[in-house]
Amino acid sequence: MIDTRKKDDEKQQSIKNAVVRLILEEGFQGASIAKIARTAGVSPATVYIYYDNKEAMLQDIYQECTDDAVHSLAGCVRPGMDGAEIIERLVRRYYGYIVQNREVFYFIEQFDTCPALCNSCNTVRGSAYLNRLLTELKQKHVLGDFDTDNLYAILFAPVKRIACHSESDKSAPDRLEELIRMIQKALIQKF
């Protein structure tokens, strides 16, 4: 049976916001379809217009949030940039994304640490894009020929640590500057 009820972008965004908020407040098990609908200001039947079930909803929203984060990062890299500038832009953009999108960032992080949900996502499009970018930078000898997982760890994990504590840490901007220099020294290919 085809559902002929009209989809509304505003309602779908309200559902997405409710999912993110409830997952952070109550975890995956505590965020029932009924609670999500109530928080979004829609009926449970409306949720099912957009998503077949809770697992599909969580995966779709996770995928959308991850893609948005990666596109935010990708938008800062331009052809012709040197390694130092690419690293600086990626680090600053990631820091800014975390600071400006804390709830979504924490939702992505929580999803990433739930193997049952994370493993059921076939392919994360955003990660594939970042993998290609890092591989290209290695092939062009902009970055050293390091394992991609190690590049992720060096480029993004320390930025996350600074950004997640930036509200209470007045030295965060100075620490970010120092981190950029450290990462540049560690990753840029030397001839």
- Enter the pTM of the model: 0.84
Question: Of the candidates 94, 68, 66, 90, which has an alpha carbon nearest to the alpha carbon of residue 78?
Answer: 90
Domains in the chain: boundaries? 1-51, 63-187
Give pLDDT tens digits for 2-32. Answer: 444 556 889 999 999 999 999 999 988 889 9
Give pLDDT tens digits for 32-55. Answer: 999 999 999 999 999 999 999 998
Q: What is the pLDDT of residue 189?
A: 63
Q: What mean pLDDT is reported for the chain?
A: 87
The label of the residue with tokens 């970018």 reads 133
Give pLDDT tens digits for 53-111. Answer: 998 999 899 989 988 998 888 889 888 899 999 999 999 999 999 999 999 999 998 88
CATH 1.10.1040.10 correct for 1-51: no
CATH 1.10.357 correct for 63-187: yes
Q: What is the pLDDT of residue 191?
A: 39
Give pLDDT tens digits for 148-160. Answer: 889 989 999 999 9
Q: Write the CB contacts of 52 (distance below 8 Å, at least 6 apart in sequence).
A: none
The label of the residue with tokens 């009209």 reads 6
Handedness of CA 34, 37, 38, 42 (dihedral sign): negative
Contacts of range 151-154, beta carbons closer than 8 Å, 24 or more positions apart: 151/187, 154/183, 154/186, 154/187
Helix extents (H) in 75-171: 83-100, 102-112, 115-120, 125-139, 148-164
| Dist. CA 191–CA 185, nearest whole Å | 13
